[in-house]
Structure 1
Amino acid sequence: MNPSAGGWINKHFPHLQQNVLDQYFSEESFYQQLQQTGFIYAHSTKTLSYPNPLKIKWTIEELSKINLFDALAYIYFSEVKNANKPDFTKEVIQFYELLEKESIWKIKISFFKSKPEETLEKILQQRIQINESYIQKNFSHLITNALLFIDVLAFKEYLAHKKHPKAYLTELESLITNVVILAFQKKTIKDKYENLVIKLLESSLRYHKIQPQPKGFEELNFENFKVHLERKYILDLASITIYSDEEIEKKEYAFIEKLGNELGFMTTEVDENITQMLQFLKQHKREISYFNYSNSIQHFYKNTNRMVKVLIMRNKHRLLKEILESKELVVLLTKSTHKDLSEEEKHKVKEQLLDICKTIPSLAIFILPGGSVLLPILIKFIPQLLPSSFNENRIKKP
């Protein structure tokens, strides 16, 4: 299943049914498992619907998309009697169309009639993105929307009351931004991550803009958010905020404990929640973007490198077949494994690789204007596809 290609919802749904919907998780159990996927922490590393490792490694964006879809489905099938897939799809589309009319985030809905699943796929694809242009995303760490779980909470509210959740969303976003900023204010030393996280948060908002002067803790109103999922999410966002510098000071912990108590959690529950967060961050620290703060050029290369690798690995069989059928290219690639190519030979390799990319639709990005910039990255991954006989210097493992 390819979450970036059309038709993925229909192919995915049986996995969702078997591994999530048929398990009849309680809300608390479902949320805990969603925490473990990283979705709550804005960095999905896996999904609930695919418990076993897959041959194809999905990107963070694709994992986030699946987790968002699964969470929306869980809420619908838990809240609605005799729920079914067509009604769920229709309801989610109506929900997002309702939000689109008044939010600062806009869905580009096609005027051409399409199947409900296709429409929902397009909506989810746009929803996982933040409110920045493609170029800005490439030059920052802000790839995936940090507040996707708010959609799930708003959908639950929408199903319960059948009214526009704008007031609910505005109040929840305002409360979350206040809590996060107050958590940052507890730090003794302000670090480089604060602006980054605030920017990520701000880019994810739809109804509320961050105010220069947040309210004090005593002014915050938690009374309108009594659902367990809402309160747990607020606590999680505050917890990961104080750990952004990989250290929890006494007054930071005191703030989280006070917040947890205000939200109705016992101190032991707050401690368990922090422990679970620390376990996740310890395991995935190297992958999480704001723990790997780097300059924009380095990050641009890293993102591009990852994107090209995904494209190549998903098309490796066709790509290898096309390469092996091009005799001159095979000769030049074989030569390149033990000897530097001349400028003319390098040019031939690039030309022939571009010709091959024309035959594989998924690799069309390389033949677009500016696609030549990606060619060195493409060539970098070619040796991984070639048989070991191509490289005379390769050391065989015992």
Structure 2
Amino acid sequence: MNPSSTGWINKHFPALQKQVLDKAFSKKSFYLQLQQTGFIYAHSTKTLSYSHPLKIKWTLEELTKINLFDALAYVYYSNFKSANREEFTQQCIQFYKLLEKETTWKGRFTFFKSKPEETLEKIIQHRIQINDSFFQKNFSHLITNALLFLDVLAFNEYLIHQKHPKNYLTNLESLITNVVILAFQKKTTKDKYENLVVKLLESSLRYHKIQPQNQPFETINFESFNSHLERKFILDLASITIYSDEEIEKKEYAFIEKLGNQLHFSAKEVDENITQMLLFLKQHKNEISYFNYTNAIQHFYKNTNRMVKVLILRNKNRLLKEIFESKELVMLLSKSTHKDLSEEEKHKVKEQLLDICKTIPSLAIFILPGGSILLPILIKFIPQLLPSSFNENRIKK
């Protein structure tokens, strides 16, 4: 079975039936199995449906593809015991069509007149390749693939309630982002690279454009997400965030324990979950791109920094001309040199800079899906390009 060629779903289904569906895993057992494949940690090293090593070594992308498909199938057959393969395939396609109408990543899926299985294969291929531009490759596994389980949770919600999953996904993404930001804040040593990871996470959110406000922990409503799969996933994302520097300090552990309590897990269950994560990450540390550098975030930031600087310098004259033609943007950029901008002002800067980038072909990178994560770096370089009188005059006013 070749997961990168047409027809792999039909070829794969007997193994899925035998190893996953016929075993009728409980939700708790299923999630544990999925954890052990690495899918939850954004680095699949094996699959649910093939427990033994195969002669053909599958790529990380192919393993991720199989695990996503298996997880979707598991939740479907958990809800409809007597369903057949054709019904499952059609429901998956209908679900993703609904998401395509609402996602900010428009144009990613194409629904050609082809066999249902082939259509679903194309959809799954797109879902695991969202971060396919050259400046995001280093972090596609860490960020976007870490959120793939959201598809599974949303599919389960869609099957249970038979309604559009947009509100569900919007609320869950908002909660997850808030928890990750709070987890970062518990770190003793903070740096600019962790802020970039938060921006990367926000950039990977597919179903709403508004960045979630950072709520105090006590005000977050976890009760809307009370299934075992939802609660375990939230806990795992927070745990991965805490472990990003390969350490878990007392303050960080206390946060995870508090989060686990809010999610109705005992201290023992939280400890077991962290132990499971540590075992996997340590066992596969050398394979995971995140740990291939002393600080993967720093590596990404520095490489991106250099690339964006080159682009800006090459387009300096045109860029400055476009900026000065926008009086409001000039005022906001000037204000940002000596005072923090409000959220509304930051949004205006972002929108106007993206409009400018549309007129300069070489800066098209900023308007690609996910390109907005580079805006802080772009803004950082702009004051260096402006004449000295720019800041001085604006500050006086």
Normalised by the length of structure 2, the TM-score is 0.71
- The 1:297–1:277 alpha-carbon spacing in structure 2 relative to 1, beyond 3 Å, is closer
Q: Tell me whether 1:216 sits opposite 2:242 in the alignment.
A: no
**What is aligned with 1:135?**
134
- The 1:88–1:208 alpha-carbon spacing in structure 2 relative to 1, beyond 3 Å, is same
**What is aligned with 1:249?**
249
1:212-291 equivalences in 2 (<5 Å) = 213-291=213-291
How many residues of Structure 1 are paired with residues of Structure 2 in the alignment? 298
- The 1:3–1:219 alpha-carbon spacing in structure 2 relative to 1, beyond 3 Å, is same
Take 2:219 and 2:251, find their aligned partners in 1: how far apart are those partners?
19
Q: Which of 98-107 and 44-53 deviates more? A: 98-107
**What is aligned with 2:118?**
118
- The 1:202–1:57 alpha-carbon spacing in structure 2 relative to 1, beyond 3 Å, is farther
What is the deviation of 1:88?
0.2
Q: Deviations over 1:56-82 (max 9, x none)?
A: 211111111110000000000110131
Query: Aligned with 1:150: secondary structure?
Result: helix
Q: Deviations over 1:34-70 (max 9, x none)?
A: 0000111111111011101011211111111110000
**What is aligned with 2:166?**
166
Q: Does the 8 Å CA contact 1:244/1:291 hold for their aligned counterparts? A: no
Query: Aligned with 2:163: secondary structure?
Result: coil
What is the deviation of 1:191?
4.8
Q: Does the 8 Å CA contact 2:180/2:237 hold for their aligned counterparts? A: yes
Query: Aligned with 2:239: secondary structure?
Result: helix
What is the deviation of 1:261?
0.3
- The 1:148–1:112 alpha-carbon spacing in structure 2 relative to 1, beyond 3 Å, is closer
What is the deviation of 1:104?
0.7
Q: Which of 48-57 and 26-35 deviates more? A: 48-57
Q: Does the 8 Å CA contact 1:19/1:49 hold for their aligned counterparts? A: yes
Query: Aligned with 1:271: secondary structure?
Result: helix
Q: Deviations over 1:158-200 (max 9, x none)?
A: 0000000100000000000000010000000025762453244
1:59-78 equivalences in 2 (<5 Å) = 59-78=59-78
- The 1:282–1:112 alpha-carbon spacing in structure 2 relative to 1, beyond 3 Å, is closer
Q: Does the 8 Å CA contact 2:100/2:109 hold for their aligned counterparts? A: no
Q: Deviations over 1:87-123 (max 9, x none)?
A: 0000000000011101112354446410000000000
**What is aligned with 1:22?**
22
What is the deviation of 1:299?
9.4
1:59 is matched by which residue type in structure 2? Answer: T
1:248 is matched by which residue type in structure 2? Answer: I
Take 1:258 and 1:110, find their aligned partners in 2: how far apart are those partners?
43
Q: Does the 8 Å CA contact 1:145/1:204 hold for their aligned counterparts? A: no
Q: Deviations over 1:237-285 (max 9, x none)?
A: 0011101101111110000000000000111111111111110111011
- The 1:292–1:262 alpha-carbon spacing in structure 2 relative to 1, beyond 3 Å, is same
Unaligned 5+ segments in structure 1 are 301-398
Query: Aligned with 1:141: secondary structure?
Result: helix
Take 1:79 and 1:193, find their aligned partners in 2: how far apart are those partners?
42
- The 1:242–1:292 alpha-carbon spacing in structure 2 relative to 1, beyond 3 Å, is same
Q: Which of 207-216 and 143-152 deviates more? A: 207-216
**What is aligned with 2:99?**
99
Q: Deviations over 1:327-358 (max 9, x none)?
A: xxxxxxxxxxxxxxxxxxxxxxxxxxxxxxxx
- The 1:111–1:145 alpha-carbon spacing in structure 2 relative to 1, beyond 3 Å, is closer
- Percent of aligned pairs with the same residue? 74
Unaligned 5+ segments in structure 2 are 305-397
Take 1:179 and 1:12, find their aligned partners in 2: how far apart are those partners?
36
**What is aligned with 1:186?**
186
Q: Does the 8 Å CA contact 1:186/1:252 hold for their aligned counterparts? A: yes
Take 1:250 and 1:227, find their aligned partners in 2: how far apart are those partners?
28
1:336-355 equivalences in 2 (<5 Å) = none
Q: Deviations over 1:13-43 (max 9, x none)?
A: 1110111111111010000010000111111
**What is aligned with 2:48?**
48
Q: Deviations over 1:270-320 (max 9, x none)?
A: 1111111110111011122222236469999xxxxxxxxxxxxxxxxxxxx
Take 1:49 and 1:111, find their aligned partners in 2: how far apart are those partners?
27
Take 1:217 and 1:93, find their aligned partners in 2: how far apart are those partners?
37
- The 1:18–1:299 alpha-carbon spacing in structure 2 relative to 1, beyond 3 Å, is farther
1:179 is matched by which residue type in structure 2? Answer: V
Query: Aligned with 2:167: secondary structure?
Result: helix
Q: Which of 285-294 and 170-179 deviates more? A: 285-294
- The 1:102–1:38 alpha-carbon spacing in structure 2 relative to 1, beyond 3 Å, is same
Query: Aligned with 1:243: secondary structure?
Result: helix
What is the deviation of 1:142?
2.1
- The 1:90–1:266 alpha-carbon spacing in structure 2 relative to 1, beyond 3 Å, is same
Q: Deviations over 1:122-174 (max 9, x none)?
A: 000001123x4532234x33245220000000000000000001000000000
- The 1:66–1:209 alpha-carbon spacing in structure 2 relative to 1, beyond 3 Å, is same
Take 2:207 and 2:271, find their aligned partners in 1: how far apart are those partners?
32
**What is aligned with 1:354?**
none
1:56 is matched by which residue type in structure 2? Answer: I
Query: Aligned with 1:14: secondary structure?
Result: helix
2:262 is matched by which residue type in structure 1? Answer: E
Normalised by the length of structure 1, the TM-score is 0.71
- The 1:221–1:63 alpha-carbon spacing in structure 2 relative to 1, beyond 3 Å, is same
